[in-house]
Amino acid sequence: MIDIKFLRQNPDLVKENIKKKFQDKKLPLVDEVIVLDEELRKTKAQADEIRASRNTLSASIGALMREKKIEEANKIKEQVSENNKKLIELKAKEQELSAKVKKIMMMIPNIIDPSVPIGKDDSENVEVKRFLEPKVPAFEVPYHLDIIEKLNGIDLDSARKVAGNGFYYLMGDIARLQSAVLTYARDFMINKGFTYCIPPFMIRSDVVTGVMSFEEMDAMMYKIEGEDLYLIGTSEHSMIGKFIDTINSKDKLPYTLTSYSPCFRKEKGAHGIEERGIYRIHQFEKQEMIVVCEPEDSMDWFHKLYSYTVELFTSMQIPVRTLECCSGDLADLKVKSIDVEAWSPRQKKYFEVGSCSNLGDAQARRLGIRIKGEKGNYFAHTLNNTVVAPPRMLIALLENHLQEDGSIYIPEVLRPYMGGKEFIR
């Protein structure tokens, strides 16, 4: 959510930003919120005037009573009573206008960074750099589900009976491999100086609306019936929520946290063959990283964060590339975003395995995350990045390390977490 003062002073710039995101239907919201904001400020000013008058009148009542001017005092009491009634009306109007302004402001997209490429959708994202040489083996690489099934690593039929489509039982060495990846990712981030955290797996609605747009919430989140709680779709929501309504000392920043959690997503809509199996599911595990920092440091942290994901993948000998998200592919709260994509020898192309986002002060403004400054408090900047999400990581690992005999080569960095095994057979 951008600053209403900024919008008030720069309406044309805000409209231009909306056009860059190809969301022209939102253009009228700018003029609408300016009118509502002006009415809100007038209402507040009127209430302040009446409040000041009421206080002055109230102070004079005691003096009049002492002077035995009872009739005059009673008239002033009536005026004070009338002022109180007006204030109640104005307070109700103020609350109504504030709610309308907030609702619209939460729909207006954040100002994107000037470096973001302009494009309508993810087809116009821009490749930044490749790491390790992508290879296609001489033998045919089967679909990832076939690879796992031949290794007795998955049970979809039982999962359908227990929970329905979009769930699975991982079994044996494949389940162990997933846990190995998560544990390695945890230690990798701890060695980068991040504090390890296991967050709540449910969050309240005020945190949900603080960390994401309404469209994202509807598409992703599972609501707990009868409770003001949602299952997290990704642990950065819970992690950023940790700082809700806080005033943070400059000397303690930045906060750098890495978190483990299960994640739950609706994943609405039908998906093609490549997004079946374990690619797009309702429940998965994830290692995440978040940063809360000074505004001037956020872009440096942005580049550090996605470089950690690249380093993690290449340490497991998986070729990756970085892809900058264009303006039309950025979620409304994001200032800038880069995806990390892993090579798929089967598809002979890259696919997304992680995403790094700089959200500027948008989340901090919604959640009230401030920094105590010498000249007053100001909003922090927040960032998040996927360390690893094993379902997709597992696909990348299996395809890139599949041997001709159907076994899976285990990269050296994972072997300590796999009891020293070099292969899954």
Residue spans of the domains in the chain: they are 4-105, 122-424
Mean pLDDT of 178-206: 96
Q: Which CATH number does the domain 4-105 belong to among 1.10.287.40, 2.40.50.60, 1.10.1740.10, 1.10.357.10?
A: 1.10.287.40
Q: What is the pLDDT of residue 406?
A: 95
Q: What are phi and psi of 17, to 5 degrees?
A: -65, -40
Q: Residue 274 — pLDDT band, cuts 50, 70, 90?
A: very low
Q: What is the pLDDT of residue 269?
A: 54
Same fold, 4-105 and 122-424: no
In CATH, 122-424 is 3.30.450.20: no
Mean pLDDT of 360-380: 94
Q: Is the pLDDT of residue 40 over 70?
A: yes
CA gap 209, 366 in Å, rounded: 8
Q: What is the dihedral of CA 358, 364, 366, 369, to 10 degrees?
A: 160
Q: What is the pLDDT of residue 209?
A: 86
Q: What is the pLDDT of residue 64?
A: 75
Mean pLDDT of 251-260: 96
Q: Evaluate if pTM is beyond 0.85.
A: yes
Q: Is the pLDDT of residue 166 over 90?
A: no
Q: Which residue has the tokens 């809360």?
A: 292
Q: What is the dihedral of CA 295, 296, 298, 302, to 10 degrees?
A: 160
Using CB atoms within 10 Å of the CB of residue 55, give its burial: 0 to 12 exposed, 13 to 18 middle, 19+ buried: exposed
